[in-house]
């Protein structure tokens, strides 16, 4: 029924003008679909597994604290003996002999330093500071074994994943803080934490990455937790979000270049003045949920889930089009701050008018075709997934 009517003009017009909040969650579920075939029972199993792993991590930490405390207590039992030994050595003149030996060693070290300085003038080979696993891929160096997907190894969950589940709590506190519902003690803190921790168990090869909490929170605000988990996992399996969260450098490069071409075509004055590195990746990681007022973000999500990933880039260009006059007069830092947190009075109608004025075709090619045509450069500086 939905598949037959979703492309009808009346349906598309309603979608564009904003879905009613009462039906938004249900329509989103139908639009996202469940290609991963995740059941609610699977979600409950992953939640239980996550809780077990968290308990194991907390128990391990308690044991470590006890062990550390006992070690410190043992060391504190001997200070008086050490003080007496020190006094005896001082009175015997032992340290004056040590000073003589130390001065001779200092002379030898000075000579060694001179020789080292001569050698250090020669150029040295090393790794740049921004060297990463993706950089290793680009020069055909094997970075070592990767974690397997939970689908091939459902029992896989190592200690680093337990740590990432604990770090989720810290990130949740920064999720929609003005709503005061996702913070510790809030009604949705545990719900959001369980969903994200369950995802770490479902996809330990990805784990938890900053930005996920905003996507999950938007879903939780519009549907129950089991349905939100199904939508969350399927959304993150889409082309753009999967590339972003798995740090697929090749795909991100192509997306970046296609977006840059459209930016230069439609907003040439901003193409050089406002670098995409300032804003684009964070917008993608959170699907605009962090940068926009929540109502406007949900409007963007309505059409994003209708039209697909290309609308994320259409919306990005629409935002720049809407605020182009303000951005032209801003310096680098002011522009970055402005785009990281857009004005609270952002008018969704004005935004969508700007979005509709941006054509996503260039030289007869759709955005998807532009992406596929963009070349990938294997250089150390092109890993755009590290620029957030």
CATH classification at residue 292: 1.10.472.80
Burial of 81 (0-12, 13-18, 19+ CB in 10 A): exposed
DSSP secondary structure code for residue 34 in this structure:
-
Dig out the tokens for 63 from the structure: 């044991």
Task: Looking at the structure, tell me whether residues 370 and 343 fall in a common domain.
Answer: yes
Q: State whether 229 and 251 are in the same domain.
A: no
- 180 and 53, same structural domain? yes
Span of 42-46, 106-110, 140-144, 259-263 with lowest mean pLDDT: 140-144
260 and 337 part of one domain: yes
How confident is residue 283, by pLDDT bands cut at 50, 70 and 90?
very high
Domains: count for the chain = 2
> Taking 60 as the threshold, does the pLDDT of residue 186 lie above it?
yes
Do 50 and 172 have their domain in common?
A: yes
Domain of 349, in residue numbers: 247-376
Residue 53: the pLDDT is 85
CA 161 – CA 167 distance, rounded (Å): 10
380 versus 293: the higher-pLDDT residue is 293
Let me know: does 203 contact 172? Beta carbons within 8 Å.
no
- What is the distance between the alpha carbons of residues 143 and 81, in angstroms, rounded to a whole number? 50
pLDDT tens-digit map of 55-112: 887 787 777 777 666 666 555 555 555 555 545 544 555 544 444 544 554 454 444 4
| CB neighbours of residue 192 within 10 Å | 26
76 part of a folded domain = no
Planar angle of CA 249, 250, 254, nearest 5 degrees: 115
Is the same domain home to 210 and 139? yes
Neighbours of 73 (CB within 10 A): 9
Same domain, 213 and 269: no
Total-model pTM: 0.75
CB distance 228 to 196 below 8 Å: no
pLDDT in the model for residue 62? 78
Q: Quick one: pLDDT at residue 133?
A: 33
Residues 194, 57, single domain; the answer is yes
CA dist 168 and 163 (Å) reads 9
In a domain, 289, yes or no: yes
pLDDT more than 90, % of the chain: 60
| pLDDT at residue 87, rounded to an integer | 52
Q: Return all residues near 104 (Cβ < 8 A) that are at least 6 apart.
A: none
């Amino acid at each position: 029924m939905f598949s037959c009517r979703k492309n009808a003009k009346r349906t598309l017009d309603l979608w564009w003008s904003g879905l009613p909040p009462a039906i938004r969650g249900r329509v989103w579920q139908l639009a996202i679909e469940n290609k991963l075939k995740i059941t609610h029972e699977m979600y409950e199993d992953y939640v239980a597994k996550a809780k077990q792993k968290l308990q194991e991590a907390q128990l391990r930490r308690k044991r470590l604290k006890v062990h550390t405390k006992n070690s410190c207590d043992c060391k504190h039992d001997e200070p008086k003996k050490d003080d007496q030994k020190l006094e005896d050595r001082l009175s015997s003149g032992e340290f004056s002999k040590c000073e003589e030996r130390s001065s001779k060693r200092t002379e030898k070290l000075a000579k060694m330093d001179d020789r080292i300085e001569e050698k250090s003038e020669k150029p040295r080979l090393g790794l740049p500071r921004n060297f990463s696993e993706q950089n290793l891929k680009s020069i055909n160096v094997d970075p070592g074994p990767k974690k397997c997907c939970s689908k091939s190894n459902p029992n896989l969950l190592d200690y680093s994943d337990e740590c990432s589940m604990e770090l989720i709590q810290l990130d949740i506190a920064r999720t929609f803080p003005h709503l005061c519902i996702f913070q510790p003690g809030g009604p949705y803190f545990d719900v959001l934490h369980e969903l994200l921790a369950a995802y770490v168990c479902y996809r330990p090869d990805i784990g938890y990455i900053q930005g996920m909490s905003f996507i999950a929170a938007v879903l939780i605000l519009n549907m129950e937790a089991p349905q939100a988990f199904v939508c969350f996992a399927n959304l993150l399996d889409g082309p753009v979000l999967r590339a972003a969260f798995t740090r697929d450098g090749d795909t991100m490069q192509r997306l970046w270049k296609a977006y840059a071409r459209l930016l230069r075509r439609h907003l040439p004055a901003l193409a050089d003045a406002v670098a995409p590195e300032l804003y684009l990746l964070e917008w993608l990681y959170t699907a605009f949920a962090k940068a926009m007022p929540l109502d406007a973000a949900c409007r963007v999500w309505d059409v994003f889930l209708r039209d697909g990933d290309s609308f994320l880039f259409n919306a990005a260009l629409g935002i720049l089009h809407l605020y182009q006059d303000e951005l032209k007069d801003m310096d680098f830092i002011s522009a970055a701050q402005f785009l990281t947190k857009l004005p609270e009075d952002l008018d969704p109608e004005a935004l969508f008018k700007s979005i509709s004025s941006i054509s996503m075709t260039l030289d007869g090619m759709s955005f998807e075709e532009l992406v596929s045509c963009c070349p990938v450069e294997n250089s150390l500086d092109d890993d755009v997934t590290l620029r957030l």
